């Protein structure tokens, strides 16, 4: 390959020698930042309008530039844009080069007073803002599906677990809403991230500001930003919004991964609580009986990918000197990949939950009387015995039942009274799983009334956001 000619590059005027071919490939970002084409064109059209306000462009030149940029956008959308592999380093140079081919010398005025340092920040923020708004809608959809499935499954009881050991009976709906509550928090945090992403750096120049008195407030408003970035030196180096996106996404993916892990376990033959639909499963190349929940396993795996991107970019960012450095190019690819990954995972999770088969009979069969040991202790609390004492009494009952090889509900009343004379005939009422969950009716509990209140709260939250 011949060396790339320096004058073909936007910055080539300073150089007399050609750039090394490998260096050009090493330096380019168009292979991944081309997805920003629409945002880049939006920013350039607004910039052209602001230049017209300063009389740097005439009406005719503005018309040529806007029309030309719209044609460039159409070429990208139709897959007809031809990349110049010798000069198109990034989406900015590619679009400007093509604009010049379409409209001639007027294109050369577009970059007046503008730096790629600010341009890339604008493009990233515009693109990310649009994508995050889309993810917010997807999260609302996931919450709505969770609420709908919880309402549908309200009568179903299942074992609640701590340490992966059966603990107390709960409603399946309550379990599902526990995950929905995490996701609700993710959606609330996302709004804060979106606000800070929506800060416009356009008009800050390479680092020192704009010398032509460009109207930054106009440009921010025209592009739909919520605020204007307050410091030019900071603005060109500011990738805190990328860090926030990656860190927010890491927590969201941790929550999706925990939900996926539960569903993977619950879909095994050992549990049999749920079955993942064929649309979100795959088979084995060797064992024809297999049905694997690969959708959920991929979500669990991709959580690590996103978390790695967050820690990796922070490592790139931590020691940079003031203002723009090319290291910051390493913010673009992980941001794009992270957002795509998160968007897909939220939608796949919604599909899995919407089509999930819920096996209430299997869950009911997994309930065991020893899970009501706390209810036995509560029975004695209501008779005035201190809980620490009732806890020991209930433990003794469990031990006696194990020694006798029966469930605690099968122990005769006389055996119970040997442990505590306060047991009476009405203790039999304790051994009722439905009664147990219905007693937990405080706010956030697993009773039907409490679960319905949780469902209503999620529905209201989705409607208002």
- pLDDT digits 0-9 by tens, 296-330: 999 999 999 999 999 999 999 999 999 999 999 99
pLDDT at 293 over 50: yes
User: In the prediction, which pLDDT does 461 show?
Assistant: 98
Q: 3-class secondary structure for 58-77?
A: CHHHHHHHHHHHHHHHHHHH
Mean pLDDT on 423-436: 95
User: In the prediction, which pLDDT does 285 show?
Assistant: 75
Asked if 40 and 23 touch (Cβ cutoff 8 Å), the reply is: no
pLDDT at 34 over 70: yes
Task: Tell me where in the chain the CATH 1.20.200.10 domain(s) lie.
Answer: 116-365
SS3 139: helix
Q: How many CB atoms lie within 10 A of CB 269?
A: 5
pLDDT band at 7 (very low <50, low <70, confident <90, very high): very low
Pair of tokens at residue 336: 């794009």
Alpha carbons 254 and 267: distance in angstroms, whole number: 20
Phi, psi of 167 (to 5 degrees): -120, -70
Mean pLDDT computed over every residue of the chain: 94
Asked if 269 and 292 touch (Cβ cutoff 8 Å), the reply is: no
pLDDT at 2 over 50: no
pLDDT band at 13 (very low <50, low <70, confident <90, very high): low
User: In the prediction, which pLDDT does 152 show?
Assistant: 98
Q: Rg of the chain's alpha carbons, rounded to an integer?
A: 31
Q: Find, among 352, 406, 247, 335, the residue nearest to 35 by Cα.
A: 335
Q: What pTM, to 2 d.p., does this model score? A: 0.93
Domain 116-365 has CATH 1.10.287.130: no
Task: Tell me where in the chain the CATH 1.10.40.30 domain(s) lie.
Answer: 369-431
User: In the prediction, which pLDDT does 283 show?
Assistant: 78
Query: Looking at residue 286, what DSSP letter applies?
Result: S
DSSP β-ladder status, 165-171 and 227-228 = unpaired
The more confidently predicted of residues 210 and 18 is 210
User: In the prediction, which pLDDT does 14 show?
Assistant: 56
pLDDT at 271 over 90: yes
284 catalytic? Reply is yes
User: In the prediction, which pLDDT does 290 show?
Assistant: 78
User: In the prediction, which pLDDT does 26 show?
Assistant: 84
Mean pLDDT on 94-110: 97
User: In the prediction, which pLDDT does 413 show?
Assistant: 94
Alpha carbons 342 and 388: distance in angstroms, whole number: 46
The more confidently predicted of residues 27 and 311 is 311
Task: Tell me where in the chain the CATH 1.10.275.10 domain(s) lie.
Answer: 21-109
pLDDT band at 23 (very low <50, low <70, confident <90, very high): confident
In the chain, pLDDT over 90 holds for what percent of residues?
91
User: In the prediction, which pLDDT does 284 show?
Assistant: 73
Domain 21-109 has CATH 1.10.275.10: yes
Alpha carbons 48 and 29: distance in angstroms, whole number: 24
Strand partners, 227: 199
Asked if 72 and 40 touch (Cβ cutoff 8 Å), the reply is: no
User: In the prediction, which pLDDT does 28 show?
Assistant: 87
> CATH says 369-431 is which class?
mainly alpha
Catalytic residue among 58, 227, 284, 311: 284
Mean pLDDT on 120-137: 98
Residue located via tokens 């990310």: 128
pLDDT band at 18 (very low <50, low <70, confident <90, very high): confident
Say if residue 357 is exposed, middle or buried (CB neighbours under 10 Å; 0-12, 13-18, 19+): exposed
Weakest mean pLDDT among 7-16, 310-319, 405-414, 437-446: 7-16
pLDDT at 210 over 90: yes
What distance lies between CA 127 and its chain's CA centroid?
16
pLDDT in tens, 345-378: 999 999 999 999 999 999 999 999 999 999 999 9
The Cα-based distances of 155 to 357, 370, 371 in angstroms read 15, 21, 18
């Amino acid at each position: 390959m011949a060396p790339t000619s320096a004058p073909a590059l936007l910055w080539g005027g300073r150089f007399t020698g050609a750039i090394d071919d490998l260096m050009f490939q090493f330096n380019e970002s168009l292979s991944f930042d081309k997805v920003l084409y629409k945002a880049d064109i939006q920013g350039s059209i607004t910039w052209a309008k602001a230049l017209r306000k300063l009389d740097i462009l005439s009406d005719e030149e503005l018309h040529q530039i806007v029309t030309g940029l719209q044609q460039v956008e159409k070429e990208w959308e139709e897959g007809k844009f031809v990349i110049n592999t010798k000069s198109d380093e990034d989406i900015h140079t590619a679009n400007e080069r093509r604009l010049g081919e379409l409209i001639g010398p007027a294109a050369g005025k577009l970059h007046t007073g503008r730096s790629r340092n600010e341009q890339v920040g604008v493009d990233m923020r515009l693109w990310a803002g649009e994508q995050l708004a889309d993810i917010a809608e997807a999260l609302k959809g996931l919450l709505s599906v969770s609420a709908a499935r919880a309402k549908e499954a309200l009568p179903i009881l299942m074992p609640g677990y701590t340490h992966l050991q059966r603990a107390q009976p709960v409603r399946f709906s309550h379990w599902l809403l526990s995950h929905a509550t995490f996701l609700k928090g993710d959606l609330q945090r996302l709004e804060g991230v979106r606000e800070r992403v929506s800060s416009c750096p356009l008009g800050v120049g390479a680092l020192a500001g704009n010398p032509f008195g460009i109207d930054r407030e106009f440009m921010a408003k025209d592009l739909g930003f919520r605020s204007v970035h307050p410091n030019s030196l900071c603005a060109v180096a500011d990738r805190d919004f990328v860090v926030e996106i990656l860190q927010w996404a890491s927590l969201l993916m941790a929550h999706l991964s925990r939900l996926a892990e539960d569903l993977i376990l619950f879909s095994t033959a050992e549990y049999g609580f749920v079955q993942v639909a064929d649309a979100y499963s795959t088979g084995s190349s060797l064992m024809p009986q297999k049905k694997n929940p690969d959708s959920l396993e991929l979500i669990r795996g991709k959580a690590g990918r996103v978390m790695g991107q967050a820690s990796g970019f922070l490592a790139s960012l931590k020691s940079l000197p003031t203002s723009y450095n090319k290291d910051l190019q390493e913010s673009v690819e992980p941001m794009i990949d992270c957002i795509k990954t998160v968007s897909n995972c939220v939608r796949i999770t919604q599909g899995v939950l919407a089509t999930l088969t819920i096996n209430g009979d299997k869950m009911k069969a997994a309930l065991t009387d020893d899970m009501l040991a706390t209810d036995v202790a509560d029975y004695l609390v209501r008779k005035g015995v201190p809980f620490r004492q009732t806890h020991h009494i209930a433990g003794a009952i469990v031990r006696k039942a194990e020694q006798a090889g029966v469930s605690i509900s099968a122990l005769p009343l006389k055996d119970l009274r040997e442990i505590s004379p306060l047991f009476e005939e009405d203790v039999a009422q304790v051994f009722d799983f439905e009664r147990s969950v219905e007693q937990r009716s405080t706010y956030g509990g697993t009773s039907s009334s409490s679960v319905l209140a949780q469902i209503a709260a999620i529905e209201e939250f989705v409607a208002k956001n």
